[in-house]
Amino acid sequence: MSNPLKLTHFLHGGDYNPDQWLDHPEIIDRDFHLFQQAHLNSITLGVFSWAKLEPSEGHYDFSWLDDIFDRAEAQGTHVILATPSGARPRWLAEKYPEVLRVDNHGQRQHFGERHNHCYTSPIYREKVQTINRKLAERYGHRKSLLMWHISNEYGGQCFCDLCQAAFRDWLKAKYHSLDCLNHAYWSSFWSHTYTSWDQVEAPSPLGDQSVTGLNLDWHRFVTDRTIDFFENEIKPLRELTPNIPVTTNFMGGNPPESHVFTDLDYQKFAEHVDIVSWDSYPNWSNDYESTAQLAMKTALMNDEMRSLKHDNYLIMESTPSQVNWHPYNRSKRPGMHEMGSLQQIAHGANSVMYFQLHQSRGASEMFHGAVITNNLSDQTRAFKDVTTVGHDLQQLTGAVATHRRDARVAIVFDYDNMWALDDSRNYANATKQYWRTIQEHYQYFWEHDIPVDIVKTADDLTPYTLVIDPMHFLMDQAFAAKLKAYVHQGGHLVGTYITGIVDRNDLAYQGGWLPDLQATYGLTVQETDTLYPHQHNTLKAFDKTYTTKDYSDLLVLDGAEPLGTYERDFYAGTTAISRHPLEQGAAYYLGCRTDTDFLEDFYRSLDRSLKLTPELPLKKKTPTVSIQVRENATAHFYFVINFSHQATTIQLTQPLTDALTHQPADSTQELPAYGVRVFTDSQD
């Protein structure tokens, strides 16, 4: 595992926009004083500062940023320096309207908002490179410069002529001939045959939205275009500051789903950054799920981000208190800030950073939580909570050189599959819910403290004892062969309904289920029954009856043995759940969607036979307590977090040190509501 930042302590900091306070130097003085008080050791500068850095074209003013660097250096604070492309100055859009995005109705946007530049515009690319070069020349050698923060939360799409032309070039490079394109898009359907490359347009409500292969390629193109823009941004930085790592802040999806962000294939994007960082905003204390349920989803998002590079990552943004954009912007309950912050460290984050260090005085984010709020006090709950986390991170310095314990369980997640499945005109749009399905499969492992990786199809599966591959609708033959080889080599595989339906071009497989899937699962799938929300079947398995919902595959076994059968409807008595032993391994097929009660029993039985639950020197009483282990060759750190409003206790079964107090830990430990404990066997 690499450590591109060479950190010797956890980062604690966040986005800081002193450019909003330049006429109040006393505020900036006080901010720096308060940063030290709150144990903040890093500031992220320059996100959205373009208008202050280049007030008019070619006229730069770095004096204020020089001053902030000096202040940071004087107190040993790291600087994460952003490139300013996330929002452009007015003069730039006014003079060069091509930098503004065009929507899918062909309408060019006005100047405004942010994160909305054209990714192709040669002028925008040039202007961004120019300012980035200036920043690298001026600050590349400052000793406080830790890392580049490229732009901010890339996302969205542009449909301008330049982007359309780039899309056509991308398609030409991919398909080489129009015949191949026509075949991939099955364009004889509705007489949509292309006879010239110029006819190809991005999907649009004014044109085509029903060519699902085109829709899928557009998603892929948008990722590639964004990465291309990013690569263009970092060129001067790589040239002038080859030893300064680059990252860009990825996003999580919004509540209530706590979904992955769906615009960009982060598995691909992650190959271009030196370290993964992301912005994490769980809506703690909402009214529709328990704290533990949301903690499970947040744990999964962290596991997903860690798995992108199979390495430690950073929390680039989180809120010290509440945000301003959730449907309901609730405060954190006492203890929750420490709970949520250390949860991310437990999963492999090497930072807790905030949006924002000093609250904006005006505009839309003046009510977004901040370390220093508009009352400027160090007596707010948020300031005290942040100080507590800063203190914790200092005590945990010995854990920075550790990684989350290696996982023996992997869940496959694939962006092409997500896009194609969402776009498929079959099943039920309201209930496909690929990511929620992943969450439901993840739940057992989270509750039992079993480490999980979220893998891409290109990852090596052989290190895992158990691979779960839910709803893999778009699967290429090579991956089906990889699954087969994995099981033959002794792997245990779980697949589900709606798997192996289309190829990489989103064309239906011909002549039945993929032979490698048939051979692996020992069955064929005849059809999939889509149920209405209030319709159910029942499943008999493990001597119990479970409710099933949403989807039922009708299976014909050919080598597999039944583990569960449908009890109702015209397929009553047929197999719903099966097991296919293959040499040392086995493949399980879940033909129907169930509630998590079945998944819990199912995974418990696999856990018993595969011995997945780790031996830990701590015993908990409830699944709402999570225990995550970070370790290296010489030390283990056990992060024990109570994701409940009720206090509980845990037992230590071996002598350990309390890593937050450095005192020997008593064998019975109280965990208050939302309480956190960290124990270690480290001798340091």
Residues classed as catalytic:
153, 317
Q: In whole angstroms, what is the distance from residue 634 CA to residue 616 CA?
A: 16
State yes or no: residue 503 binds ligand GLA (CB under 6 A): no
Q: Does 303 bind ligand GLA (CB under 6 A)?
A: no
Q: How many residues bind ligand GLA (CB under 6 A)?
A: 9
Instruction: Give the binding range for Zn ion (CB under 5 A) out of 84-92, 119-127, 559-567, 607-615.
Output: 119-127
Of residues 319, 571, 297, 228, the one with CA closest to residue 439: 297
Q: Do residues 256 and 286 make contact, with C-beta atoms less than 8 angstroms apart?
A: yes
**Partner from Zn ion, ligand GLA, none contacting 120, C-beta within 5 to 8 A by type:** Zn ion
Residues paired with 145 in a beta bridge:
79
Nearer to ligand GLA, 365 or 658 (CB): 365
- Compare residues 368 and 484 and give the one whose CB is closer to ligand GLA: 368
Give the residue from 52, 88, 101 showing the smallest Cα distance to 226: 101
Give residue for tokens 């159910």. 536
Q: Which is nearer to Zn ion, 166 or 389 (CB)?
A: 166
Angle at 312 between CA 308 and CA 314, to 5 degrees: 90
Which phi and psi angles does 610 have, rounded to 5°?
A: -100, -5
CB closer to Zn ion, 44 vs 120: 120
Q: Which of 5, 99, 131, 158 binds Zn ion (CB under 5 A)?
A: 158
In whole angstroms, what is the distance from residue 102 CA to residue 118 CA?
8
Strand ranges inside 583-658, DSSP E: 585-590, 592-594, 618-620, 625-631, 636-642, 648-652, 657-658
Per-residue contact flags (x/-) with ligand GLA for residues 350 to 379, judged by CB under 6 A = -----x---------x--x-----------
Residue 284 labelled as part of a binding site: no
| Using rule CB under 6 A, residue 19 touches ligand GLA | no
Q: Which of the choices ligand GLA, Zn ion, none does residue 552 contact, using the CB cut-off of 5 to 8 A by kind?
A: none
* Total residues binding Zn ion (CB under 5 A): 6
| Residue 77 is a binding residue for ligand GLA (CB under 6 A) | no
- Residue 417 interface partner, choices ligand GLA, Zn ion, none, CB cut-off 5-8 Å depending on type: none
Token pair for residue 379?
Answer: 């007596």
- 180 annotated to a ligand binding site: no
Alpha-carbon gap, residue 397 to 413, rounded angstroms:
33
| Beta carbon nearer to ligand GLA, 365 or 601 | 365
232 binds Zn ion (CB under 5 A): no
Site for Zn ion, residues 99 to 118, rule: CB under 5 A: 118
118 binds, among ligand GLA, Zn ion, none (CB under 5 to 8 A by kind): Zn ion
Q: Is 114 annotated as a binding residue?
A: yes
**Distance in Å, CB of 324 to ligand GLA, minimum:** 7
Q: How far apart are CA 146 and CA 351, in angstroms?
A: 13
Does 317 help bind ligand GLA (rule: CB under 6 A)? yes
323 near ligand GLA, rule: CB under 6 A: yes
Binding-site member from 279, 385, 550, 553 for ligand GLA (CB under 6 A): 279
76-97 as b/e: b if 16+ CB within 10 A: ebbbbbbbbbbbbbebbbeebb
Token duo for residue 582? 């293959």
Q: Which residue is nearest to ligand GLA (CB)?
A: 279
Is there a binding annotation on residue 50? no
120 binds Zn ion per the rule CB under 5 A:
yes
Q: Give me the DSSP letters along 133-182.
A: HHHHHHHTT-TTEEEEE-SSS------SHHHHHHHHHHHHHHHSSHHHHH
- On whether the CB atoms of residues 185 and 191 are closer than 8 A, the answer is no
CB-nearer residue toward ligand GLA: 368 or 405: 368
Burial 288-312 (b: 16+ CB within 10 A, else e): eeebbbbbbbbbbbbbbbbbbbbbb
Q: Is 152 known as a binding-site position?
A: yes
Provide the minimum distance between the beta carbon of 165 and Zn ion in the complex, in angstroms, as a whole number: 9
CB of 116 to Zn ion, least distance (A): 10
Which listed residue (152, 402, 575, 642) binds ligand GLA by CB under 6 A? 152
Tokens 């099955």 correspond to: 186
Q: Which is nearer to ligand GLA, 332 or 482 (CB)?
A: 332
Q: Does 600 interact with ligand GLA (rule: CB under 6 A)? A: no
The answer to whether the CB of 178 falls within 8 A of the CB of 274 is no
Sign for the pseudo-dihedral over CA of 278, 221, 421, 497: negative
Residue (of 272, 295, 271, 307) closest to 413 by Cα position: 307
User: What is the contact surface with Zn ion in residues (CB under 5 A)?
Assistant: 118, 120, 158, 160, 162-163
**Annotation: binding site:** 114, 118, 152, 158, 160, 163, 325
Residues found near ligand GLA in the complex (CB under 6 A):
152-153, 279, 281, 317, 323, 355, 365, 368
Q: Which residues are annotated as a binding site for Zn(2+)?
A: 118, 158, 160, 163
